[in-house]
C-alpha cells in the first residue's frame, strides 16, 4: 500500500487543484450575470451636465480610476462595456449603476427635474487589458450586466452600491446593432500631443486616403500646433474628420513613449491603447472597416487600386477573418528624391515633412520581424493593442508585404544604409494628377498658402 501512497496523493492534489480552478471559472462567469443588488432605487439621481474638459474622460468618484465611454456589446448578451483607465493594483471592487432616461430632453433639464425614471445597481466585472507595458495605469473594460427589467440608457461606476448620489453618468452607445454602415473605411489615429504641428504631411496623408477609399478619419487630440489646428478645422468642416478631445494630461501624467524605462509616466503613450479601443466601439456600427495606425503612416495597397478592392480580395480568400495585419516599412526622412520633382515652392512655408520627396525605403531583414498595424472589421474585435488584437473572433491574417504595406516616413532605423542600399518606391507618385491640386486646395482653404 505504501508503494501507491505517492501516486494516490498526487491524484488527490490534481483533483483538488482542478476543482478549485473549475469553481473559480464558474464564479468568474457568474459575476457578469449576477442579479442586481438594488432594484427601483427610491430617489432616482439627476443627470448632471459634465464640464467641458471631461467630455471624453471622467474620474470615478472617490477613486483614481477614469472612465471614458460606454457601449452595449450585442456579441456578449447585451453586456454594457465601459472603456476605462484603471490603476492596476488599486482595489477593483466596483459597481455599475444602470439607469433609464426619463424623457428625451433629460440632458437639457430644468431645475428640480429628475433625469432618470429607474435605476439598478449591480457588481461590475473588471477586465484589465493584458498590454499595459508596465505602467501603473492600464486600459480596462468594466462590464455591467444589462438588466432584463428595462433598457438602460446611462451608466455610472461607483465604489459603493448604495451611495449613488452625485455620480457621473455616461450615455450608453450602440443601443441597436446595424448591418449597414455609413462609412466603408475609417482611420483611427490614436492621439496627438506635444503641440504636434506637422501640417503638410497630414494634408498629404488625408488627400491620399481620400483617393484610395477612406471616408472618415478620427483623431484623439491632447494638443496640436497652430498650423495643424487650422488643418484640423478645415477637414472637420468638410466632414471627413472627427476630432475627439483627449485631455488625459489633466488627469494623469502620461508617458510620451511606449517604453517606461525611457519615457516615465503613469500611463503608456498618452493613453494610446484606450483611444484605439474607444474608436473601435465608437465606430462599431458606423464603419465596415477600421484602419488602426498613427498619424504619420499610410496603409497603402500595392496590388489593388483602392482599399475596397484590396479588402474584397482578402475577404474572398479569408471569409472568416476580421483582423488583417499590415507590415510597416520605413522611408527615411533623411533621404530625398534627387530630381526635386515635388519640391514645390508654394509648400516651403508649410511645416513639416513633404512625404512625396521620400521615395526610398529600408529593405527588410530576414530575421527581424516588421512591426504591424491593422485593418479590422470592428465587430470581430473585443480588445486591441497597438500592433495586434488581444481578444477577437476568427483568425488573424498577415497581409503579404507586396500586396499592401505601410508607408512610414520617419527617422531611419538603419542609419548606416546609403541611398543605393535602399529600395526605390514611388507608389505615391501614381496619384500625382489628382493629388497635387487637392493638396493645394486643402492648404489654401486652411489658410496655409501664402
Q: Quote the CA–CA distance of 116 and 3 in Å, as a whole number.
A: 70
Q: Quote the CA–CA distance of 374 and 401 in Å, as a whole number.
A: 13
Q: Quote the CA–CA distance of 8 and 156 in Å, as a whole number.
A: 51
At 103, give phi and psi (nearest 5°): -155, 170
The string of DSSP letters for 49-61 reads PPPGGGSS-EEPT
Residue 352: asked if its preceding bond is cis (omega within 30°), the reply is yes
At residue 392's C-alpha, the angle toward residues 389 and 395, to 5°, is 90
**What cell was used for 240?**
471627413
**What cell was used for 175?**
443601443
- The CATH number of 183-445, from 3.90.550, 1.10.10, 3.40.50, 3.30.300, is 3.90.550
Residues 6+ apart with CB under 8 A from 141: 81, 82, 83, 84, 126, 127, 129, 383
At 238, give phi and psi (nearest 5°): -70, -25
Q: What CATH class has 52-173?
A: mainly beta
Domain boundaries, the chain: 52-173, 183-445
Listed residue (225, 189, 195, 212) closest to 446, CA to CA = 225
Q: Quote the CA–CA distance of 237 and 254 in Å, as a whole number.
A: 30
**What cell was used for 296?**
504619420
pLDDT tens digits, residue range 19-55? 444 443 333 333 333 334 443 333 444 444 433 334 6
pLDDT tens digits, residue range 305-361? 999 999 999 999 999 999 999 999 999 999 999 999 999 999 999 988 999 999 999
Q: Quote the CA–CA distance of 140 and 391 in Å, as a whole number.
A: 13
The string of DSSP letters for 286-321 reads TEEEEEE--TTEEEEESSSSSHHHHHHHHHHH-TT-
Listed residue (296, 55, 288, 330) closest to 191, CA to CA = 296
**What cell was used for 320?**
472568416
Q: What is the pLDDT along the chain (450 residues), one digit of tens a residue?
A: 555 555 555 555 545 445 444 443 333 333 333 334 443 333 444 444 433 334 689 999 989 999 999 999 999 989 999 999 999 988 779 999 999 987 644 443 333 345 788 899 999 999 999 999 999 999 999 999 988 889 999 999 999 877 777 899 999 999 999 999 999 999 999 899 999 999 999 999 999 999 999 999 999 999 999 999 999 999 999 999 999 999 999 999 999 887 888 889 999 999 999 999 999 999 999 999 999 999 999 999 999 999 999 999 999 999 999 999 999 999 999 999 999 999 999 999 998 899 999 999 999 887 777 899 999 999 999 999 999 999 999 999 999 999 999 999 999 988 889 899 999 999 999 999 999 999 999 999 999 997
End-to-end CA, the chain: 96
User: E strands along 74-182, which residues?
Assistant: 79-87, 95-101, 116-123, 125-128, 137-144, 154-158, 170-173
| Rounded (to 5) percent helix, strand, coil in the chain | 30, 30, 45
CA torsion sign, 122 to 127 to 128 to 129? negative
Q: Decide if 342 contacts 354 (C-beta within 8 A).
A: yes
Q: Strand pairing partners for 287?
A: 183
Q: Mapping DSSP to helix (H, G, I), strand (E, B) and coil, where does residue 185 land?
A: strand
Amino acid at each position: 500500500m505504501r508503494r501507491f501512497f505517492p501516486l494516490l496523493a498526487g491524484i488527490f492534489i490534481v483533483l483538488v487543484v482542478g476543482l478549485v480552478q473549475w469553481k473559480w471559472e464558474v464564479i468568474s462567469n457568474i459575476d457578469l450575470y449576477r442579479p442586481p443588488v438594488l432594484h427601483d432605487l427610491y430617489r432616482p439621481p439627476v443627470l448632471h451636465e459634465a464640464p467641458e474638459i471631461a467630455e471624453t474622460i471622467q474620474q470615478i468618484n472617490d477613486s483614481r480610476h477614469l472612465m471614458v465611454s460606454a457601449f452595449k456589446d450585442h456579441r456578449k448578451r447585451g453586456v454594457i462595456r465601459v472603456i476605462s483607465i484603471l490603476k492596476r493594483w488599486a482595489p477593483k471592487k466596483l459597481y455599475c449603476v444602470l439607469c433609464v432616461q426619463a424623457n428625451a430632453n433629460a440632458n437639457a433639464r430644468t431645475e428640480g427635474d429628475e433625469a432618470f425614471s429607474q435605476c439598478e445597481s449591480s457588481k461590475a466585472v473588471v477586465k484589465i487589458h493584458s498590454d499595459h507595458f508596465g505602467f501603473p495605469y492600464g486600459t480596462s473594460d468594466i462590464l455591467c450586466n444589462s438588466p432584463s427589467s428595462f433598457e438602460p440608457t446611462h451608466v455610472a461606476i461607483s465604489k459603493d452600491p448604495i451611495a449613488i448620489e452625485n455620480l457621473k453618468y455616461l450615455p450608453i452607445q450602440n443601443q441597436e446593432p446595424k448591418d449597414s454602415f455609413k462609412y466603408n473605411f475609417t482611420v483611427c489615429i490614436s492621439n496627438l500631443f506635444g503641440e504636434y504641428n506637422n501640417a503638410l504631411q497630414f494634408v498629404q496623408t488625408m488627400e491620399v486616403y481620400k483617393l484610395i477609399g477612406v471616408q472618415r478619419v478620427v483623431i484623439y487630440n491632447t494638443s496640436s500646433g497652430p498650423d495643424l489646428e487650422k488643418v484640423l478645422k478645415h477637414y472637420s468642416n468638410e466632414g471627413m474628420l472627427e476630432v475627439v478631445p483627449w485631455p488625459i494630461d489633466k488627469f494623469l501624467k502620461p508617458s510620451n513613449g511606449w517604453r517606461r524605462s525611457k519615457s516615465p509616466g503613469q500611463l503608456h503613450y498618452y493613453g494610446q491603447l484606450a483611444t484605439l479601443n474607444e474608436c473601435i466601439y465608437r465606430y462599431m456600427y458606423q464603419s465596415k472597416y477600421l484602419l488602426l495606425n498613427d498619424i504619420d503612416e499610410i496603409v497603402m495597397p500595392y496590388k489593388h487600386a483602392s482599399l475596397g478592392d484590396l479588402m474584397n480580395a482578402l475577404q474572398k480568400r479569408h471569409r472568416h477573418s476580421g483582423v488583417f495585419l499590415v507590415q510597416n516599412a520605413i522611408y527615411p526622412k533623411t533621404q530625398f528624391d534627387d530630381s526635386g520633382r515635388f519640391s514645390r515652392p508654394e509648400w516651403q512655408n508649410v511645416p513639416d515633412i513633404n512625404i512625396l520627396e521620400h521615395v526610398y525605403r529600408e529593405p527588410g531583414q530576414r530575421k527581424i520581424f516588421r512591426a504591424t498595424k491593422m485593418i479590422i472589421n470592428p465587430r470581430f474585435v473585443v480588445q486591441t493593442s497597438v500592433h495586434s488584437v488581444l481578444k477577437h473572433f476568427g483568425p488573424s491574417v498577415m497581409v503579404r508585404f507586396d500586396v499592401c504595406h505601410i508607408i512610414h516616413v520617419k527617422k531611419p532605423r538603419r542609419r548606416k544604409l546609403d541611398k543605393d542600399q535602399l529600395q526605390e518606391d514611388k507608389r505615391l507618385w501614381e496619384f500625382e494628377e489628382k493629388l497635387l491640386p487637392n493638396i493645394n486646395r486643402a492648404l489654401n482653404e486652411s489658410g496655409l498658402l501664402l
